[in-house]
Amino acid sequence: MAKITIARQFRGPPNSGNGGYVCGMLARDIDGPATSVLRAPVPLDLRMDIRLEEGVYQMTAEADGALIGTGVTCEGAVLPNPPEAPSMRAARGAGQRSPALTERIHPPCFTCSHEREEGDGLRVFVGQIEGAPAGHVAGIWTPNMAFSDPQGLVTSQTIWAALDCPGVFAWIAKEGRHGALLGTMTCEILRRPKCAEEVIVMAWPLDREGRKETAGVALFAMNGELLARAHQVWIIMGSRPEPVAAHLDAVTA
């Protein structure tokens, strides 16, 4: 059993952990594709336990044993095949049109807030790709050295976090602003890039069933090499879409 604390730096909403980052922490000891499911808002600055039981990593609150999330190995077949990577020029232009740069969509978010400084937040900004189907979004991300391992590579949990918010921005680009909670994320990291290396983040909407929206997300090298891919399940807030400001990148209860 391991002890873990999600520091306030890694928040999504003001008072709970960033969904992608927490999913990545649940999966960091799993080789190959993994699925993480968030069961409750992730407390900040409080000790939690991660234990492996019958092949499943379980994150529980130390105080009362409440289940926060689970992580498990999965088959790669559940992962989407990404569209062709946009050019660096197209991705850069799309990112410059990101609503996250002009609107206070979720100001404290570790992944997508423009109000977080380099090395504190990831500053991943994606926008609609010109000429692509509605909801196909992309942007350029340059991982800061603050998120490197001893070899200078981006840590796996940071990659999960970078792929988080782009999935809901794909649906925002397709259908307009609305609130959604990240419930499940399945990710496969093929190669971790070096910090300070420019990479392309891309996301696209997959399907909607009732209040569930699914999205595909991918990370590409400058030459179009696929570095990572993910499948996400988002839960729409309320009976109708609503402003996203209070909910983007939260976790499901």
pLDDT tens digits along 11-29: 998 889 999 999 999 999 9
Phi, psi of 233, rounded to the nearest 5 degrees: -120, 120
Number of other CB atoms surrounding residue 7 within 10 Å: 10
Residue labelled with tokens 């992962």: 79
Rg, Å, the chain Cα set: 17
Question: Does pLDDT of 68 surpass 90?
Answer: yes
Q: For residue 158, is pLDDT > 90?
A: yes
Closest by CA to 66, choosing from 98, 100, 43, 33, is: 43
CA 29 and chain centroid, separation = 18
Residue 57 has pLDDT above 60, yes or no: yes
Overall residue count recorded for the chain in this entry: 253
3-state helix, strand, coil in the chain (%, to 5): 20, 35, 45
Please indicate whether residue 177 or residue 98 has the higher confidence score (pLDDT): 98
Please name the residues in contact with 213: beta carbons below 8 A apart, sequence gap of 6 or more: 168, 171, 180, 205, 207, 233, 234, 235, 236
Mean pLDDT of the chain: 91
* DSSP H or E run through 156: helix 156-162
Give the domains, in start order, of the chain with CATH numbers: 2-73 (3.10.129.10), 77-251 (3.10.129.10)
pLDDT digits (tens, 9 = 90+) for 75-107: 777 799 999 999 999 999 999 999 999 887 777
Q: Find tokens 């009732």 and name the residue.
A: 210
Q: Write down the pTM of the prediction.
A: 0.92
Q: How many CB atoms lie within 10 A of CB 206?
A: 17
Question: Is the pLDDT confidence value at 178 over 90?
Answer: no
Q: Residue 245 class from Cβ within 10 Å (0-12 exposed, 13-18 middle, 19+ buried)?
A: middle
**pLDDT higher than threshold 70 for residue 39:** yes
Three-state DSSP at 147 gives helix
In tens, the pLDDT along 194-252 reads 999 999 999 999 999 998 999 999 999 999 999 999 999 998 876 444 333 333 333 33
Three-state SS for 172?
helix
Q: Residue 243 has what pLDDT?
A: 35
| Contact (Cβ atoms closer than 8 angstroms) between residue 10 and residue 42 | no
Task: Answer whether residue 112 shows pLDDT above 60.
Answer: yes
Q: Find, among 5, 1, 10, the residue nearest to 251 by Cα.
A: 10
Sole residue written with tokens 């404290």: 108
pLDDT number for residue 250: 34
